[in-house]
Structure 1
Amino acid sequence: MAILFRPWLLPTIINITAVSTGALLMFVLLAVVRRRRAAAPPVAAVPGGLERTADSPRHQPVIPAELPPPGLLVGRDDTLAEMWTYLSTPAEDRSGPRLIVLHGARGVGKTALAIHLAHQVAEEYPDGQLLFRFDRADVTTPEERLAVFVWALNGPKERQPAPTEYRSWYHERTRRRRVLVILDDVESAEQILPLLPAGGRCLAVVTATGELPTLRESVPHLFSVPVGPLETPAATKLLDELVGGDRVPQEPTQAARIVAESAGYPVALSIAGAVLAGRRNWTLEVAVRRMEEAATTGPGDPDIAFTGVLDLAYALLTRAEQNALLVLGLADTRQVQPWMLAALLRGQRPDEQDPPGLAARLLDRLALARFAERQVDDESGVSAYTLPWYAQVYAARRMGTALDPETQQRIRGALRTEREGRVARDLERQLGQTVYQQLDEGRLNEALESARELLAWCREDDVRRVDSRSGATTPAKVREGLALVALGEVVAEFGWIDAAAAYVREARELGSGSLLVRARALRLSGSLRLGQRQIPEAEAELGEALEAVREAGDDVEHIRVLREQIVLQALRGDCAQGRRYAAQAKQLCAPQSSAARRELPGILLAHGVVEQMCADPERARELFSEAEKLTADPAAHQQLRCCWIRLQHARLLLQEEKFDQSREFAITALSGFTRLEHRYGAGHARLELGRAYLAEQNLERAIPLLEESHGTFRRCGDRWIMTDAATALAQAYHLADRVQEASALLKAAKQTYTRVGDAYGHWLAARLLWEVESELRDEPTEAGGSPPGGGPSRTRRPHATTVAAR
């Protein structure tokens, strides 16, 4: 039967077709999205122990993964099976988290058991694994503890809640998620209640010395698990695995004696295993004999069940290490630092002078013997040490019989005097006498250590220090900001640009209310940007620094800011303004203190760069020579600045095509940098030497120097100078017909110049790459031709004007 067309049905047909097509497209789109999500990994790792869901990093919460690696676990299979049974049984009450409390004596292995269990069940808690370790000497508030979890769970785009909102925020965040929380070394139920997650699908594992019976009132489905010492077979197996080799099976009697002295405590077995594994040439018989010889007379300490193992570890220490452990028994805290041990040793032997760094080395050795735990601050690099509870008790016990009361009193007095002296220290004076003086003299490693030590000192407490110049008090954050800037200056001298920039950012945040911190941080940040050829950003920051330092009234810092302004004007080509800033800086140097006059060579160096860039080489040479005279004398203690001045003089002579003279100055600078063990400076000197040989097309000498320079800069972190060296090396490779290598270097150089914002560098790399690739295509390059996109016809780059930050 024929179907007659009805014109009035046309709109309906069109609408049905559109809806069907839209539904089909939506179905296809959803299928594609689901397929992509299924193919993509569900979690993307982020450095620092964090993970983030891969679908939408902007909107998904951060997934913290804070579990440390699992250690060796022996003899706990039955306990693990009990906990697995508890976790696999459906909970009747889902109003709160599952809670496992591992309780037992200290050192019995509760933490290792908790970490091992957490790794086994981590996949069941994909929304995060959190860890908090309590300290018996810790006086932090519940809000401060919660801040750790809030920071870990809070996404980068989310609002940071106020401290008063931490509990509600944390409970709301964990209510509908599956989160695993480990709370280690808990003393009371009141400590952990705020830290327990709220969701019924969450798990909390607590370690404590007692059962925490009052906790069951808040968490009815609590599972209490007692943890005791290991049985003898398991303890023997653990010792065998820790010691290694066949030493335990070959000497079963002596091994049994060590196991008996450990009382089945895993911490004691780990101590014995550590000291014996480090002395593989010792038999267990010798170790047992030494343990017996080191044993103290009288009853053992009731708080330590494994004194014999500690006697063994003590016996294997050197006399200096044993003495260090003894005096640490007089410390009034478990948190110790090298300066504290140095003060204790000085009090014991006031007539003797210990070599620098001895206290830190002794603490490191005690850490190897498990009498101390070493932690390194990721930011400052400063090491801090914690005495385990057993080490503190054992050291106090041995000290009581080894040192007479008068000596003990003198040692305590030395520690007290040192602590009081540190409270009264003037940070500015300390920075000048240590960090900046060591930096001027080229003692870079010492300057780095001093800067880190002062930063650690600033973070010790929040006491407001007295400024000796003004008599005013300095807030802790301001002191820390000044120390961070000093540390940033040192690492910048090493060429670690990213690290220096990070210190500057933190200093600006901490010292936002201090004009001096602001001026120094802006000045250093502007200097770093100058080194990376980020001229607009450097101009803005140095302008702010100049305003801040004028208001702060610090003449020395004013001179330093003017020095960077002079270099900035040289790079901008503003000769008149550069000369005006140089004149202002010289006026500030002349009548002021010796600290201000010490800045004059840096001003002359920067002024010389202005004249060099403004085509007045004679005047530049005069300024460099004058600056060198002021620093060349060893009594001036400016050996590092002298090297940078000679290097800049070499650059000027190279620009004038006086190649032999340029090499002489570069070789002198290289010798100075090498003597100071300054690899970054030596890389600059080799780069200038290589360029001088390259200008004469002496490729046999140019290429090794440029390769070594490029390799040095690749390891230091200064992207601009690394790329500048790569460009020079590519030119040498091109002349040596190593066009493939030249092409690879220039492609990478183009990208880096773009990232750092150097437009001319990008053009030069593109020009050279065009020439090289033309040669690869067997297409001759027209002399004086322009690359695609236009640009100057020259391929010779204006010489680098890298000037040392100091």
Structure 2
Amino acid sequence: MPSTSTSSEPLRFTLLGPVRVWRGDRELTLGPPQRKAVLATLLLRADQVVTASELVDAVWGESAPASVHGVVQTHVSMLRSVLEPERPRRGQASVLRSVGNGYSLAVGSAGYDLREFEKTLELARQHREEGNARDAVEWYAKALAMWQGEPLSAIPGPGAVIERARLSEIVLGVQEERLELMVALGRHTAAVTELAALTSAHPVRERLRALHMKALSRSGRRADALQVYTDTRRVMVDELGIEPGAELRELHHRLLAVDEPRQQPVAPPPAQPSRRPIVPFMDEPLPAPISPAQLPADVADFTGRTALVKRLTAMLTPRTHRTAPPRALVAGIGGVGKTALAVHAAHQVRQHYPDGQLYVDLRGAGPDAADPLNVLSAFLRAFGVSPNSTPADLDERAAMYRSVLASRRVLVVLDDAADAAQIQHLLPGSATCGVLVTSRRRLPEMQWDEQAELEGMSREEALTLFSRTIGADRAGQEPAAVAEVVDACGRLPLALRITAAKLVDRPQWTVRSMADKLARERGRLSELRVGSLEVEATFHLGYGQLDATSARAFRLMSLPEGPGLSLPAAAALVGEPEPSAEPVVERLVDLNMVASPSPDHYAYHDLLRLFARQRAAQTDSKQDRIDAMVRLGDHYLGTAATAGWLIQAPAWPKERFCRRPYAGGVELDDLKSAFAWFEDQQPALLASARQFLTDPDLPSDYVVDLITFLELYLANGTHFGEIGQIGELAVRDAERTGDLRVEAWGRRKVGEAHLRRFQLPEAQDQLSRSIAAAEKAGDAVALATAMDLLGSVEFRMGDGEQSLAHLEQALAVAHDAGDVVREAYVLGTIGRTQSERGEFELAMAACEKSRELHEQLGNETGLARTLFMMGLVYQRFRRLVESIDPLEESLAVCLGIEQSFGEGHNLVMLSRGYLADGRAEQAAAAASRARELGEAIGDAHMHAMAVAELGKALHALGKHELGDEHLHSAQTLLTELNSPQAAAVSALLNKK
């Protein structure tokens, strides 16, 4: 819903972490990273004038495009609209002011975390100098609490690395000052814990090492202190070729001589002033160090398995002699407690893996097992790798994953693996990592350092777990009945917890009554079971005690495929508003019938899901089950439509973007919330699309709109192969149902996947058939889209006449249908094709009109594409140097929206422009980066063209032999792709 905040509310700025701005309690949307870099530069010199040249140096440096001053003005203008939304268009700015040839950010009395940090730090040092060490420690802690991660996180620009490193050095120095006081005050144990982490992150920082040794020694751990010195010396000699400094050597000598007393706290030394003031900032940013912590919460009352926990934690504890990551497998039947054990053991060792803990439920026992390709994508995103930079190929994506983990200490927990094939690409290669796998199978084809076949708990453990849950007094009153219940549950943790939860929920029941109910339930079970007899009996009993509303929710929430449900999705399934549905769903969580892995997210144990689906088939009519799934589809589609509009056309009336109103869905406020929703729900949306296409009772045309909106989020990423597979499912469904609209969409998706892989004949065939189906269906939007794509295919195949014919048809159809978005895209493609016919004016006119429409729509993705097309037009007419400006503008937009596909293609063309302008080194750098991007996102044609341009640039630099190698390689690659560009490279080689 729209914000109610006004510009009268105070602004608050932060940069000790991500660069953010709040107005009151509402965070403002600042835009792309370079815009944030402009703000950060101004913020670090708040209330001072920063010239435009200084801004360019800080944000772009030597890589600044020719049009950079115009880009700076645009960023400043957009920041002003965010910081002062109620300022008249031409009114005087009061926050971000123009002063001479520069700008000044008036922070004044506004909240600003860096200034607050400096003031708090000054107070801490003042208390220290006055000898008030205890108060000083508290003020140091307050100052450090203001840091929310790496300063200037993810801010690009040639100055950011310097300032980021400087600010990081400052905070590290402050941590040292605080820890030195803690050691002096005798708080050795607390200091040891923090120092262990800091010395691990900064292994050659001698001041930290000395403090660590002192804290260990004064805690009575002299041997550990000596080991710290040994480790420090080895690292410094091996990595730096130097011995430790005098302070460390002297401390080591005293420890050897037992001359480091466990003394009483002493007055701390005076603070050392910071060597540099905390002021202005100014290279390409280092990747932000991200440490994912994905482990589910540990079981609060975990009981038993003591010996096995010790074995697992001992095996997963890092050892220096290892050359491969330790691997452990916990196997066993459903409900035996594999996940609880694995999560508990993982929590015991997580301190040994400070770079992160990855967790995934692979759903191997169910029908919708997780795809390793998608799991790898999620793992890479957890470490900050953009989805648009991950390779499409499974082997290549796995190689990137191993590379990311190579220098990190990460624990990987793979829960409920189906088989070895599902996990083989998910295993890290570095000995610094650890792996813990659970499965119902023993997976004998893989090697394990520790392997456990989990069975039911021992009777003593089971009694303890059950008694602890229902209360020791209650259990003690009926020991015989407790023993019967434990045996009836097969001593399986899942069954025990469900049964105990039922007794807790029914305090008037006796344990005897529960034992009798379980005995009767076991006696009347059918042969169709979801698990063991004991688990089945528990499920029946637990389900039988649910009220009608909870039981219905339990059944309907099990119907969708996929990893889990959000609260809004669950509410849609049961047909209730969120406030009404939430207590019902949370009651299922309380009774252990449904899990809640994170707030407002729910998942089933696979056995409970199967049990719930069986109950749904027996209890709910077929139409009720269909209606529930349709409500879920409406929820997904309605929210996706809103999110897609915010991404694609936020400046356009929503009703003009969405072809029809969509029932259901949640409200989203801005672009950030749209991306966040897609990021969170993407696995569920893809699973839903497959289910609606493979279940003949569900309306498959729902998928057409859902994936169309989802692709606006995926935008030229690495999912085109997966979308193509869904397209194939759509074609098969259409062949069964005769739904021409679904067929048109499915064939278009398959054709587009072929186009991305440069399989042009296959793409042409599928798109032609898509056009035929769209014409028969009378679907103008689908017809225009397929014609546009077919025109692009024919252009790549060298048939400019046929390409233009299809594009002009697409433009007419889109215009008549009122599809302004498609019209803008088609105009850009027409501009490129007109250039092939020698019509420069017509080509540029089409591109200018396309640009105008994309700007009206607020569509940065489309704007980047059209600017790229303008660069192509210039190059087609040999005006290579003139192509640089629009290509650099397009590149800047692509970088701002993190679109690797567009970035790579712009760099290929910029390499040509730079070479024509005599900038061979810059041309080589652009082509080299484009080659890397082509490899990363699986775009074979981008990669091949980049190799060709790199070959040309190397020749210009006088590296002729290396240049020929690249040209020959490009010729081979382009020939394999059947690209018309192969002939141009061959001709170039023949001239040499």
TM-score w.r.t. the length of structure 2 is: 0.38
Rg bigger for which structure? 1
Name the structure, 1 or 2, with higher relative contact order (CA <8 Å, separation 6+).
2
TM-score w.r.t. the length of structure 1 is: 0.45
